Chain A
Amino acid sequence: MHISSSFTPLSALAGGALIGLSASILWWTHGRVAGVSGLLGGLVDRDGADRDERPWFLLGLVAAGALLLVARPSAFPSAHAPLAVTAVAGLLVGVGTRLGSGCTSGHGVCGLSRLSPRSLASTLTFLATGAATVLAVRLLGGGS
């Protein structure tokens, strides 16, 4: 196994700690699991999310993007995949996260912090198909 020179353990741990702190604040103040696909999906499904504070969390994510663009522009990629690939990826992420009731934040961070076997099963599954997809793209020579 070869470790990449772009490995950044310290900033990864620090950023992760901020994510864990944020998830704890949302739970403590609103009693909500900080699962981004669940928060957004609640709005899309109009389950009443528009009447509570959930959209404000999403707005905070957008605000962070604007802030990072100024304070840490290296947080964003300089090159992008073709828009068609991006659209297919987005569509799969949308369908998959709703069908599977969560994503990297809801199952991967919050669920695993709750020691949930359901979230562990989900996380292992999306890691496996994610790794298989990256491998397939590399073997097929498709650079995206």
Chain B
Amino acid sequence: MKARAAALSAGALFGVGLGVSGMTLPAKVRGFLDVGGDWDPSLAFVMLGAIGVHLALLRATRARRAPVFHPVFHPPTTARIDAPLLAGAAVFGVGWGLGGVCPGPAIVHLGAGGASAWTFVLAMVAGMALHGAARRALAPRPPLRAEQADTP
């Protein structure tokens, strides 16, 4: 119960931060990406604020062996800079530039409703499912289903 409330509050705080910073406005995001045009550097300041706070607080929690509500931390599992990383980022960037919306603001838009918000999120989920299906189809078949994540 407390765990769910903590996750819900963190999500709400994240969403309010996106709204306050202006990142729920596609025009503002595209204004940042439009470096040679009517350039709006706001997004860089959002990153600066977010990274400054997160970097400092990550250091403050480094002494902890485990998070409050879970047995283990789930840090990123790879540090490799490989083709899927770069290709994926490139494709994401095109979609981001086209719509001015990335996944966080897209979910926040759902709360405000409207056909545009639902269209974007449904298409995004379809893209994620498509990627999952392609990955499973291309992956070598495992002997047993040993892919259950998060069971230590």
Contact = CB atoms under 8 A, between A and B. Distances in A.
A118 B85 contact: yes
A104 B48 contact: no
B125 A22 contact: no
Interface residues of B, number: 119
A98 B19 contact: no
Given A53-B3, A75-B19, A126-B92, A44 B125 contact: yes
Given A63-B111, A134-B37, 14 more contacts: A12-B22, A15-B22, A19-B54, A21-B17, A44-B128, A44-B132, A89-B95, A97-B88, A101-B85, A111-B76, A115-B55, A126-B92, A135-B37, A137-B97
Contact of B37 (A36, A61, A138): A138
Interface of B: 3-28, 30-31, 33-55, 57-58, 61, 64, 66-70, 72-76, 78-81, 84-104, 106-116, 119-132, 148-151
Given A94-B126, A127-B33, A133-B93, A61 B111 contact: yes
Contact of A25 (B10, B87, B150): B10
Given A68-B112, A96-B88, A101-B88, A17 B50 contact: yes
A141 interface: no
Contacts of B26: 77, 81
Contacts of B149: 42, 47-48
Contacts of B78: 101, 118
